[in-house]
């Protein structure tokens, strides 16, 4: 078995997430995040500046519990925000550091999109190159681009509303099966996030990036680092497309046959199934699914450490 761990991103949050791991002491160090995770309400939890540190806090606890039980991946990755949890898994960031970085990232991303009339849409059943060309055609009306290459048959377009609406119209004319409006806080992973990128660049100059102990497959690349530096990649990440499908294909090309999704829900697992239906998938969001996954990987007689 060769194991990958993938971390869910913003949009997967649910009220009550992480509650089954309490009384883990980390929650009491962040009482504001604990309250949001456990009790919401969902509209407050779903604010970008709140979602991001909450998701990373819970993911870091699950990562620690997996490691304490001898489950360490051969590769890890995450969808957008989830990349920060992947970097925590790889020991690049310390736990409190990654939570505070997620808090900062959420804040500057939220600030960057204030006042922008934007939209995000999922385009179903359309080839990449065709949709890329449609975005170019619509760019005279505003900034618009593919923000997420999720899986075969699902691409996400984001940008200024008028330009996105034009892409929607053109995509349906060109044979897209469906176009679905997405309920998001802003046009993430487009050039409209430049201010957030610059703020992250400045913040990273004050941070220590530790040696990567586990290979991370990066959103912006769709593969491991080659000559790039991690801060440089994370600066670009907020305004560059998420190549999730490419990342999973790369992970599989390296021999990974088993993948654990960490985070609420099974959105990423759904993407993986569409990329390669033969991958063995597990998902962890609470104590019950954690124990179920550990038993599946270590054997029913394994005594779980908590």
Point out the residues that are catalytic. 80, 189
Residue 4 host element (H or E):
strand 3-7
73 CB neighbour count, 10 Å cutoff:
25
Residue 181 CB neighbour total at 10 angstroms: 11
Q: How far apart are CA 34 and CA 20, in angstroms?
A: 12
DSSP assignment letter at 225: -
- The position carrying tokens 């176009």 is 179
**In angstroms, rounded to a whole number, what is the distance separating the alpha carbons of residues 7 and 196?**
22
| Longest CA span, the chain | 62
| Structure-token pair, residue 141 | 């009306």
In whole angstroms, how far apart are CA 280 and each of 2, 257, 262, 293?
10, 6, 14, 11
DSSP 216: B
DSSP 3-state percent helix, strand, coil across the chain (nearest 5): 50, 15, 35
Which string of b and e fits 129-149 if b means at least 16 CB within 10 Å? eebeebbeebbebbbbbbbbb
For residue 146, give Cα distances in angstroms to 71, 106, 138: 35, 21, 12
Q: Do 112 and 192 touch, CB atoms closer than 8 A?
A: yes
């Amino acid at each position: 078995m060769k194991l990958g761990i993938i971390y869910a991103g913003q949009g997967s949050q649910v009220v009550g997430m992480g509650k089954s791991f309490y009384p883990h002491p980390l929650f009491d160090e962040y009482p504001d995040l604990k309250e949001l995770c456990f009790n919401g309400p969902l509209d407050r939890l779903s604010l970008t500046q709140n979602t991001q540190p909450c998701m990373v806090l819970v993911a870091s606890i699950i990562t620690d519990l997996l490691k304490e039980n001898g489950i360490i991946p051969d590769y890890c990755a995450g969808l957008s925000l989830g990349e920060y949890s992947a970097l925590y898994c790889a020991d690049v960031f310390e736990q409190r550091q990654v939570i505070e970085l997620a808090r900062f990232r959420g804040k500057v991303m939220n600030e960057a999109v204030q006042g922008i009339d934007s939209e995000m849409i999922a385009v179903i059943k359309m080839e990449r190159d065709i949709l890329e060309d449609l975005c170019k055609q619509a760019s005279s009306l505003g900034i618009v681009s593919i923000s997420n290459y999720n899986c075969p048959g699902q691409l996400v377009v984001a940008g200024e509303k008028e330009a996105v609406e034009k892409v929607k119209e053109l995509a349906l004319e060109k044979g897209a099966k469906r176009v679905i409006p997405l309920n998001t806080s802003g046009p993430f992973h487009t050039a409209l996030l430049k201010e957030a990128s610059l703020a992250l660049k400045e913040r990273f100059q004050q941070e220590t990036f530790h040696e990567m102990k586990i290979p991370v497959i990066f959103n912006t690349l769709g593969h491991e680092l080659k000559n790039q530096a991690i801060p440089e990649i994370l600066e670009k990440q907020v305004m560059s497309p998420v190549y999730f499908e490419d990342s999973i294909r790369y992970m599989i090309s390296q021999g990974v046959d088993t993948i654990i999704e960490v985070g609420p829900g099974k959105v990423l697992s759904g993407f993986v199934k569409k990329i390669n239906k033969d991958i063995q998938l597990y998902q962890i969001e609470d104590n019950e699914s954690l124990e179920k996954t550990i038993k599946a990987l270590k054997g029913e007689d394994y005594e779980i450490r908590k």
